Structure 1
Amino acid sequence: MLTRVSPESRQDFAFAFLSILFEGAPFILLGTLISGFIDVYLPANTMDRLLPRRKIPAILVAGLLGAILPVCECAVVPVIRRLVKKGLPVSCALTYMLAAPIVNPITALSTWKAFKGPVVSLGEFGTASASTVMTASRLGLGFLIAVAVGILVSRLPLRAILRPRLIESLEKDDSSDDAHDHGCRGHDHGHDHECCAGHRHHEEDSDGKLVAALRSAMRDFTDVGVYFTVGVVITALFNTGIAPGAEWLDRVAGNPAGAPAALMVLAFVLSLCSTSDAFIAATLHRFSWGAKLAFLTFGPMMDVKLIFLYQTVMKRRFILGLAVGLFVAIGLAAIAWQAGISALNPPLEQP
């Protein structure tokens, strides 16, 4: 038998939905605009030039590239595919792929804006606002997890990571590039007509770059906006219809290990953009800061839409191992982080 929804319930849902939507939409727009301009204006070999030659320093730098080349997780996989074809090491590519959606100024700003709470004690380091603690913790944990994955991946053979078709295309591109370079060097008289034809065409179309960048941003905004709107609807229903009076939710939220696991599963299902997920996490008032940190770290690295995107580059077996490893590592880190915060701030365990 259907139950009638009261006008008060509908009003609460509408208020929760619109408040989250209007707060997060500007950051999605900003992130997709930057992603569109990177897609059009940034040469594919720029990242490769920025990386050191040694393996470990290159992985560390790759984890920080999102600070100057911010890309949402919705757009990072196609970018990584192009960069790998241009010769970027797979370990650096995966590190950037996992870190860039988190370690970037747009995500940092949105996280800082979303979280509002009391001052948190940091022991000998003094105090800080909740927004500062959550922002720094999210960026720091995202960087450490991405670098750890990059170091582990650097020890694996390519055939254990990449799909066979991508490896074949890499080998084919290498051979064709060598032949192309040899032909250009050996026929200087034809170089202007052959090798530089693309450059002249690029100069002729330079006026259309802005339009192309805006179109790319528009496509990203549409795709990301759909996922974000669905996530906002589910969150608003959760906060106004499920959470009030749910005793089982109190048991889950109060479990030190169950709370981070539950929010990581929620992040996986919602598939939100990293530039806006903080506004949804901040509304989950029954869960601890540590559980929210797990939500904000795991979601940009592994969710439903990313599973399909990852399969265009990586093998399914590797994706499964990556998902399990990220779930366990981020969950343990969030539990340890929450234990430390609770020890310093006993009254502030719950936001």
Structure 2
Amino acid sequence: MIFASIPDPSRSGDVLFAFLSILFEGAPYILIGTLISGLIDAFLPAKFLERMLPKNRVAATFAAGFLGLIFPVCECAVVPVVRRLVQKGLPLSCGLAYLLSAPIINPIVIISTLTAFKEFEGAVGDATMTIARISLAYVVAVSLGLFIIRKKPSDILRPSVAASVERAVAAGSAGGPQGFDAKLTHAMRTAMRDFLDTAMYFTIGVLLTSLFNTQVPQSSIEAVAGNEWVAVPSMMGLAFVLALCSTSDAFIVAPMGVFSEASKLAFLVFGPMLDIKLVFMYASVFRRRFVLTMSIAVFVLIGLLCEPWIDWVSLLKNTPIP
């Protein structure tokens, strides 16, 4: 019999299956992100971002919150892209704003959210959850970007990354590789280094996620998340450990009718900004103290704002236009 060789279900088998599922889902995006980062490093002119963004640092940070519409990447791919953009002259405040907003404020995620919540069926004013998700993500990302506007790279970035940024800035005036073939070779080498660096941390995060998804009873999670008083923080915690891709998370949370709209919004905004795998990926670029500070700030801001925010967007939706 062909089925005689199929092993019986086991706890270790469940962990392995979950691990490979998440790994194969996220790895292509990391590959895409690192390829983009290599191409940026080799082909993007050093002064391009300075010309594209406003000269004023505050205005540039506000504009960076919308860079995801130009460089649309998910949370698995954005870390290496931001690293290269900072080396190309993007201010740290702009880099952080883009890092946190890009996985949400990009065309693919906007369309997936509209589809999951069936908001394509009405007018733009009916897209309550999509508008709330985009606007809250923008406010949180830009707020944290403005918070570090006066910080130096050495205050936030890991020493090795800060040193590479300084070397890249110094080398910018001297010029990079010349000729298409030389630039393409440089891009592939850069992408390979970034992929190996980022994939190591991503794999650790995926392993922890798969252990949680298979070994913790899901009924316990639903019981906690269903409590009205802890719905918002528990949904953010659920988003943290599930580590879903921002292109698909709306399809997971939309059918959960027992949860409030505020808790769903918290899930949709917090998850793409911070989850298990992202913590390890952030640690490959930022100092640990900054990762901890940023994580607390994201959790507090979204936790405090999600309920009044969804109410405000709903109120605007129901307010007649004169």
Shift, 1:159, TM fit = 3.1
TM-score by length of 1: 0.66
- Superposed CA deviations along residues 300-321 of structure 1, whole A, max 9, x for unmatched, are 1111111111112211111111
**CA deviation after TM superposition for structure 1 residue 138, in Å:** 0.6
Quote how far apart the aligned CAs of 1:161 are: 1.2
Cα drift, residue 337 of structure 1: 2.9
1:250 offset after TM fit, Å? 5.4
**RMSD of aligned residue pairs (Cα, Å):** 4.5
TM-score, normalised relative to structure 2:
0.71
5 Å-filtered alignment, 1:13-52, equals 35=33, 38-39=36-37, 42=40, 43-44=43-44, 45=46, 46-52=48-54
Question: Of residues 278, 286, 301 in structure 1, which corresponds to 2:273?
Answer: 301
2:251 aligns to what?
279
Query: Could you say which residue in structure 1 is the equivalent of 2:135?
Result: 140
Unaligned residue ranges in structure 2 (runs of 5+):
1-20, 318-322
1:80 shift after superposition = 1.3
* Aligned partner of residue 300 in structure 1, secondary structure: helix
Gaps of 5+ in 1: 1-20, 121-125, 182-194, 346-351
Matched-pair contact (CA < 8 Å) for 1:119–1:128: no
Judged with a 3 Å threshold, the aligned counterparts in structure 2 of structure 1 residues 173 and 237 are, in CA distance, closer, same or farther, namely closer
| 2:178 counterpart SS class | helix
Distance in structure 1 (CA, Å) of the matches to 2:158 and 2:183: 35
The answer to whether the 8 A contact 1:76-1:97 is kept is yes
Deviations 1:319-351 (A, max 9, x none): 111101110100111122355578899xxxxxx
CA contact (8 A) 2:132 2:313 kept: no
The answer to whether the 8 A contact 1:235-1:280 is kept is no
- Tell me, in whole angstroms, the C-alpha distance in 1 between the residues paired with 2:183 and 2:170: 29
Equivalent residue letter for 1:170: V
Q: 1:141-156 maps to which residues of 2 (within 5 A)? A: 141-156=136-151
What amino acid sits opposite 1:60 in the alignment? F
Write the letter of the residue equivalent to 1:106: I
The 3-state SS of whatever aligns with 2:273 is coil
- Cα-to-partner distance string for 1:220-269 (whole Å, 9 max, x where unaligned): 9xx99xx99x989988999xx845xx7x94564241x4111001111111
In structure 2, the CA distance between the partners of 1:235 and 1:336, relative to structure 1 (3 Å rule), is: farther
Question: Which residue of structure 1 aligns with residue 114 of structure 2?
Answer: 112
Matched, 1:253 2:226: yes
Matches within 5 A, 1:1-351: 35=33, 38-39=36-37, 42=40, 43-44=43-44, 45=46, 46-116=48-118, 128-129=125-126, 132-178=127-173, 181=174, 198-200=177-179, 202-203=180-181, 242-243=218-219, 249=222, 252-255=225-228, 257-339=229-311
**Distance in 1 between residues matched to 2:278 and 2:249, nearest whole Å:** 15
Mapped to 1, the partners of 2:183 and 2:124 lie a distance apart of 53
* Distance apart, 1:50 and its partner CA: 1.6
2:3 is matched with none
Secondary structure of the structure 2 residue equivalent to 1:70: coil
Residue in 2 that maps onto 1:10: none
Q: Percent identity?
A: 39
What is the SS of the residue equivalent to 1:199?
A: coil
CA–CA distance in 1 between the matches of 2:288 and 2:210? Answer: 30
Contact kept? 2:100, 2:273, Cα under 8 Å: yes
Separation in structure 1 between the aligned mates of residue 290 and residue 62 of structure 2, nearest angstrom: 22
Task: Please state how far the C-alpha of 1:128 moved relative to its aligned partner.
Answer: 4.7
